[in-house]
Amino acid sequence: MFVKFDIPVTVRSAVMKTPAFTQLLADFGNARTVPAMRNGDVIVSDSLAMAETLAEQHPLMWPEDPVARGVARSLVAEMHAGFSALRAACPMNLRRCYDGFAISDAVRSDVARIDMMWQDARRRFGSRGPWLFGEYSLADVFFAPVAMRFATYQLPVSDVASDYISAHMHDRDFRQWRACGLAENHVRDYYDLDLPERAWPGPAALQAKAVRVGEAINANCPFSAQPVVSQGLADLNGTVIGFCNAFCRDKFVADPEAWPKAMAVLRTH
């Protein structure tokens, strides 16, 4: 929500199911789950409540047309409250893409309902862009994790739904989100299934790698503008680019083309 609508935010995070996570939530009132947000004394601890609170100040987060806006809110509410079979059987996992996932009748029913909603929104309101209501809206924020579940588990969808999933996978902000997750590397093994894997169905990442030695072509990190450090070196096609820390390096390595500033440094040299 914050990235896609250019809303300034300071992000605080902690690994779930750790004491640090409990301590973090203590600063967010009665929140017991994430995401939660705080603006002074205003504390909102549910994603849908966050969306509506932000939309009070940024109304274009919802479709402008009243009919489309009503449909968008209905879709988001249904997603927020429902599809328990899909959530339980197909946890969101951006590290994996499986072959051979056995879809249950309950999951198939959820998938069919979501596919129908997507097709209806695209047919009625999607002429101005690749998103559910043409231009990007809160509906797409809420359905991004659903789209990734469809991709991870290779769930059966229509061509319209497949194109919508592809729009998310090619979106630069989504690619950066996934790259940061891969760089953080907080692996939860219980999200992984013992199934054959296939290549990630999104855009193929350039083959960069972390390196320990080399002379970087740049003196300052393309992300922070801080000095390059020896622990922040990456190699792409024989060219070494430097970063201010290992995390900046690793999010670049995960998907170099998702980061225009870093790619601009490489092109310049």
Query: pLDDT (tens digit, 0 to 9) for every residue of the chain, 269 residues total?
Result: 999 999 999 999 998 889 999 999 999 998 888 899 999 999 999 999 999 999 999 989 999 999 999 999 999 999 999 999 999 999 999 999 999 999 999 999 999 999 999 999 999 999 999 999 999 999 999 999 999 999 999 999 999 999 999 999 999 999 999 999 999 988 888 889 999 999 999 999 999 999 999 999 999 999 999 999 999 999 999 999 999 999 999 999 999 999 999 999 999 98
> Last residue of a domain, which of 160, 176, 192?
176
**Are 101 and 44 in a shared domain?**
no
Predicted structure pTM score: 0.93
**Are 40 and 86 in a shared domain?**
no
**Are 32 and 67 in a shared domain?**
no
199, 166 contact by CB (below 8 A): no
Q: Which residues contact 120 (CB under 8 A, 6 or more apart)?
A: 71
Number of H helices and E strands in the chain, helices first, is 10, 5
Judging by DSSP bridges, how do beta strands 233-236 and 208-211 pair with one another?
A: antiparallel
**Are 143 and 92 in a shared domain?**
yes
User: What domain range is 32 assigned to?
Assistant: 1-49
**Are 83 and 120 in a shared domain?**
yes
* Nearest one of 151, 143, 144 to 200, comparing CA atoms: 151
**Are 43 and 117 in a shared domain?**
no
Phi then psi for residue 68, to 5 deg, are: -65, -40
Does 188 reside within a domain?
Answer: no
Domain count for the chain: 3
User: In sequence order, what E strands does the chain have?
Assistant: 37-39, 42-44, 208-211, 233-236, 239-242
